[in-house]
């Protein structure tokens, strides 16, 4: 299946900009829609010389207007770091409701394939481990994190409603913790925070006692999975993530070793509703898409650390929320 013109909401963000790059490299014309609340222009600048990137600074909760042919709509617009969605709770709910309506209506009007970027957060603090797509989750619907969790759960339901009621060609993916170059300064998530702290010689702040687990997927692997899902006929939802499970303390220690840092590990309070366990069951993605991650944690961390060593990307560390 060939996509000549692709719309990516949130295309200036961490994952979104990597998707813009991927589709430009395949020869597609990409329309990036972003309000730049968390996305960054610097993520897109290297792509402009291609002549195949169109950038529109818009708030998609107010509507989407993209004239001409559209073959695919990838809906990635949303604050994704807890620091961001806890700081923009209403905006997060709006982009996961009104924004999803507008993105789906664009796909419907263009007869385009629609891919929605959901999240492992739909599983909440899981009572089933690892998490298969059949698991309905264990989410606190009124806690602080619910603005993100429930926005994504609503968007999944809306996507399936458009598929059933309007015949829109839809796909849903559930993204597990992802890392790599272009993560924003002050992002607040574990890996960029640990790297920034290690490089600056500040204490590496580990939430709780660090025994909570996560599964980290390098961004190139994730993009390959997204592209495979888009080019398939699968509706999902499908988990995309790396099933290698590590404790947060183990990841912090590995980053300290790889950076050669003398920073001490310091344990701080855990946020409310912080999940104890997180590991994707990716059997379905492997079976249906032929996809599985190939980049090891050490390899991915080395690439990410190298990027963070650049003078324009080493940031004053923020508090970590995994």
Residues annotated as part of the active site = 148
- Residue 313: Cβ within 10 Å count: 18
Q: DSSP per residue over 254-306, as a string?
A: HHHHHHT--PPEEEEPPPTT--S---B--HHHHHHH-------HHHHHHHHHH
The packing angle between helices 297-308 and 248-259, to 10°, is 60
Biggest CA-to-CA distance, the chain: 58
* 39 neighbors 105 (Cβ within 8 angstroms): no
**Distance of alpha carbon 101 from alpha carbon 253, whole angstroms:** 43
What angle, rounded to 10 degrees, do the helices at 297-308 and 190-200 form? 60
């Amino acid at each position: 299946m060939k996509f000549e013109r692709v719309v990516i909401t949130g295309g200036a963000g961490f994952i979104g900009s990597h998707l813009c790059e991927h589709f430009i490299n395949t020869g597609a014309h990409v329309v990036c829609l972003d309000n730049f609340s968390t996305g960054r222009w610097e993520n897109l600048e290297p792509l402009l010389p291609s002549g195949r990137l169109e950038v529109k600074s818009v708030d998609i909760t107010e509507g989407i207007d993209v004239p001409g042919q559209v073959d695919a709509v990838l809906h990635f617009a949303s604050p994704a770091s807890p620091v961001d969605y806890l700081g923009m709770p209403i905006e997060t709910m709006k982009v996961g409701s009104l924004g999803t309506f507008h993105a789906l209506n664009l796909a419907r009007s263009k007869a385009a394939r629609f891919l929605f970027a959901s999240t492992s957060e739909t599983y909440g603090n899981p009572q089933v481990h690892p998490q298969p797509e059949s698991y309905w989750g264990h989410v606190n619907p009124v806690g602080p994190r619910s603005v993100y969790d429930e926005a994504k759960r609503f968007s999944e339901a809306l996507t399936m409603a458009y598929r059933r009621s309007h015949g829109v060609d839809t796909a849903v993916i559930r993204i597990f913790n992802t890392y790599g170059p272009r993560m924003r300064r002050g992002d607040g998530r574990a890996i960029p925070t640990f790297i920034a702290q290690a490089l600056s010689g500040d204490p590496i702040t580990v939430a709780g006692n660090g025994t909570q687990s996560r599964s980290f997927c390098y961004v190139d692997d994730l993009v390959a999975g997204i592209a495979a899902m888009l080019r398939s006929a699968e509706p999902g939802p499908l988990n995309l993530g790396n099933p290698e499970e590590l404790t947060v303390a183990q990841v912090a220690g590995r980053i300290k070793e790889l950076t050669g840092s003398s920073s001490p590990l310091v344990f701080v309070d855990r946020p409310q509703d912080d999940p104890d366990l997180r590991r994707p069951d990716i059997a379905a993605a492997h079976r249906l898409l032929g996809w599985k991650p190939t980049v090891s944690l050490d390899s991915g961390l080395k690439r990410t650390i190298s990027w963070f060593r650049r003078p324009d990307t080493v940031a004053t560390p923020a508090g970590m929320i995994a």
